[in-house]
Amino acid sequence: MNWAPGTGVSGVLSGFVRLGARWLLCLGVVLGVAGCRTTETTPISPEDRQPYTAVGVQPGDVVRINFPSAPTMSTVQQVQADGTIAMPLGESLQVRGKSAAEIESRVLEVYGPQLVVKAVSVAVESSGFPIFVWGAVLRPGRVQCRQSITVMEALVEAGGAVEGRADLRRVRVVRQRDDGSTRTYVLDLQAALRGREADQFYLRPSDVVHVPERFSFY
């Protein structure tokens, strides 16, 4: 074999050594950054193992208000993200967390003086609540829940974990609290598959579930 001028077997080997060293350096930087990306996690409480029960009306629910003596004022409204609905005369009414009876009382308080028959009926249709599943699952994205579900059930709704890629030992759940802060939980769903209690972690509205991928070196 003819080598280019100024090169030889030793030169080529030296080039490979330099390339290998550079690759190892880059790999070390990547692993170092990954190792430094730690997040403070929250211990799982007994409450987290209890099914979620919505208290009162929630954003996304549909509220039907019927005025028997003033049919033109009757309305059907979807609860907005801020917990309000639009009323017939342009007002907004805060209904988040309220029961149908509490909404009836508030509507009568506002509109009672204008009604011939001081009566109103309110019906609420629940839309459930959203959660979000990302990472190594077959159908990542939003999952609309009609009832309380566990993390394991959420993965099933998202098509299941990607076989051979998903790291079920480090599944994260990020939960936003009412004060704007967040809590991060780390679950070992691999243990759950072996019958332990980890799968009994129940999700709350807008929880974000992330299934990380395994590190693979070829």
Q: Is the separation of the CB atoms in 140 and 134 below 8 Å?
A: yes
Domain ranges of the chain: 62-125, 128-211
* Side-chain half-sphere exposure of 130, counting CA atoms within 13 A: 10
Q: How many angstroms from the chain centroid is the CA of residue 57?
A: 19
pTM more than 0.85? no
What CATH architecture is 62-125? 2-Layer Sandwich (3.30)
pLDDT at 10: 46
Residues 6+ apart with CB under 8 A from 131: 142, 143, 145, 149, 154, 203, 205, 206, 207, 208, 209
Q: Which of 91, 96, 98 is nearest to 59 (CA)?
A: 96
pLDDT at 198: 52
Residues of the chain with pLDDT below 70 are 1-39, 178, 195-199, 216-218
The domain over range 128-211 is classified in CATH as 3.40.50.280: no
**Helix or strand holding residue 128 (H, E):** none
pLDDT at 39: 53
